[in-house]
Structure formats: structure tokens, C-alpha cells
Amino acid sequence: MARITRVQKAQQRYEQVPVLNEDGTPKQTPVMSRHGTQKVTKRGKPVFMTVTVQDRTKPLPNRKCGKCGKEIEVGSPYKHISPRSGPYGGRTLYRCKSCPDWHVWEYSGSLSARLAEIDFNFTEELDAEFEDTDYVQDALNTAAEAVREIAGEKTEAADNIENGFQHATYQSDELRDQGEQLESWADEIESADIPELPEPEETECEPCDGTGNRDLQEQLTAARQRLAVLMHKPLTDQDVHAITLRHIRQNEKLIQELEQRAKDGDTTVECEECDGAGMVTPEEPTPDQMDEWRQEVRDSLTIVGEPPV
């Protein structure tokens, strides 16, 4: 991995111009080896380097962040890397301090870098609040397809080498083996076992706090309030009108029943949500159950981060 250099304050850059001798020729200095002797070319010619200096009358424009595109202004912090190989080999890449550091696949096209990107993208997908196994399977399929793309490139490269030499070579055998291993790995990713969704668990009924009963007077007040709202509801649509009338009759009947029970000395009524049981089984798993399941999925599907090559 390329080393990231962090700079606290960007300096103003200036154009480099050659230092001239008295006769107007560029000044040169010997290029020395680590042994203290001057370097020479293959033909034995001494190697010199032209001496340059900053021309303060020719300021260079500010560098730009390779991520967000903003200028790295003088005095602001930034960072840079200089990859030795890959698509940016021999170039220096710059980013402002607030932008994230480089991922290895952003400057390297190596096999390990590309596989690391697949794992990163899969992990990003599983960081979401997904709700079902279909979402997870789609993420696995996407990762598998990305692996198959690389496998195809390896196989194609092996074919090209063998077609060029008219026979297999150590390099073509190695590439073909990588392609086969990646294809097999893609199949394993696609068919990985996904933990089943949790079954909804019986839980305490919230409206009655698990007692199975609710305060009669509170229910009577709530029914009267609902009836008041329904009585003042505009009845413009025929279907809405019929539904509203049905709800009005239901609330009127409920109020009569509750009033009679109050006269009989009752202080509580059976909770409608749990039918007096105090416990209910929801249709969906609880948020805590889903969080636990998502974490189980993340912990079990590590195969995308375990390449065979």
C-alpha cells in the first residue's frame, strides 16, 4: 500500500526555472551515487542534473483535491500519496484533509486490491437496515458477479498467452488456475447460507401493561371522544359516509355497554388488543430481533472477505 503523507499547511508553489551561469548556460551539477562517485550512463558518459530555483514571479495554481475537486488553498491541510505501480504509478495524488483516505483499489489495479473492493462494497451493503433475505441474496449475487468478471479476465489472459506462444506456459497456467478458483469462489458466495429471519416473539401487551385489563373510565372517555370526532366528520363521499355511520354505531354501542358495566360496579374491562391474555404475538419481529438478525447475517457471511487467491 502507498504511504499517505499528511501536510499541515499547503505552501505557495512557483514555477521552477534553471539557474544560469555567467555565460547564460544552464548550471549543472554532477549526479552522485550512494558510493560518493558520479553516476555515468551505460556508455560511460557522466550524468549531470540541471540546477533549478523557484521563480517568485511565476506562482503556480493551487492543487485540486482528487476526491471533491476543491482547490487546496495555501495554508490549508492536505494529504498525498505516490503509488509506485498501477494506473497511477509514478504520479502523486492529492486530497484535502476533510476527504477520506484512499482505498487501495483507488490507485491500484492489483488482484488483491480489486477483491478488497468487492468485500468493501458488500460490507457497505450489509451496513444498511435491510429487512429480508432477498436483500442479502442480491448483495451476494452482486459480489459473485464482480468476482466472475475478474475470473473471466484471468481466463482470457491465459488464453491470449497460450495463443501467442502456441502452448501453455507457467504464467498461463497460473492465470487459468486463478480464474478457476475465482469461478468456484463466486459459486460459493452466491450459494452462501443466509440466517433465517427470526419468528415474532410473544411480548407483553403495551396498552394494558400485560395485565389483560384496562381502566373502564379511560375506555369510556376514549369512545366518547371518537364518537365526537365521527359526528363532526364531513360526509361527502358515499363510501366514506357508509363507513363513518358504521363506526358511529359501533362506538354508540360500546359506550352503552361501558356505561352499563360502570353502573354494575365494574372498574376495568378486558383489553381488546390481547383479549385479556396480557401477552400478544406481533405480526413482525421486534426491532431488537431484527438488529440481532442483521448482526448474525454480517457475522456469518464472511466468505466475501476470504478470497482463495
Q: What is the 3-state secondary structure (H, E, C) of 201-265?
A: CCEECCCCCCCCEEEHHHHHHHHHHHHHHHHCCCCCCHHHHHHHHHHHHHHHHHHHHHHHHHHCC
Q: Kindly state whether residues 122 and 168 are assigned to the same domain.
A: yes
Residues 173 and 298 in one domain: yes
Residues 52 and 164 in one domain: no
- Work out the pLDDT band at 238, boundaries 50, 70, 90: low
**299 and 168 in a common domain:** yes
Higher pLDDT, 49 or 85: 49
Do residue 98 and residue 149 come from a single domain?
Answer: no
The CA distance from 186 to 163, in Å, is 27
Q: Do residues 189 and 209 both lie within one domain? A: no
pLDDT tops 80 at residue 107: yes
The pLDDT value given to residue 79: 97
For position 119, what pLDDT does the model report?
98
284 pLDDT band, cuts 50/70/90, is: confident
**Quick one: how far is CA 21 from the chain centroid?**
58
Residue 193: predicted pLDDT? 97
Task: Please tell me whether residues 208 and 194 are part of one structural domain.
Answer: no
Residue that finishes a domain, picked among 69, 103, 137 = 103
In this prediction, residues 65-85 reach a mean pLDDT of 95
- The per-residue pLDDT for 147 is 98
Query: Does residue 286 form part of some domain?
Result: no
Q: Which domain holds residue 67?
A: 1-103
Do 257 and 298 have their domain in common?
A: no
- The number of beta carbons lying within 10 Å of the beta carbon of residue 264 is 7
What does pTM read for this prediction? 0.70
> Is the same domain home to 148 and 275?
no
Number of domains in the chain: 3
Q: For residue 68, what pLDDT is reported?
A: 96
Residue 235 has pLDDT above 70, yes or no: no
Domain-located, residue 285: no
188, 300: one domain? yes
> What is the signed CA dihedral for 97, 101, 106, 107, rounded to 10 degrees?
80
Based on the fold, state whether residues 182 and 116 are members of the same structural domain: yes
How many angstroms separate the Cα of 52 from the Cα of each of 36, 104, 110, 190? 22, 34, 37, 59
Among residues 103, 120, 139, the one where a domain terminates is 103
Average pLDDT over residues 150-171: 96
| Confidence (pLDDT) at 239 | 58
Residue 283 backbone dihedrals phi, psi, to 5 degrees: -70, -30
Shared-domain flag, residues 126 and 208: no
Confidence of residue 226 (pLDDT cuts 50, 70, 90): confident
Taking residues 182-205, report their average pLDDT.
93
Residue 237 has pLDDT above 70, yes or no: no
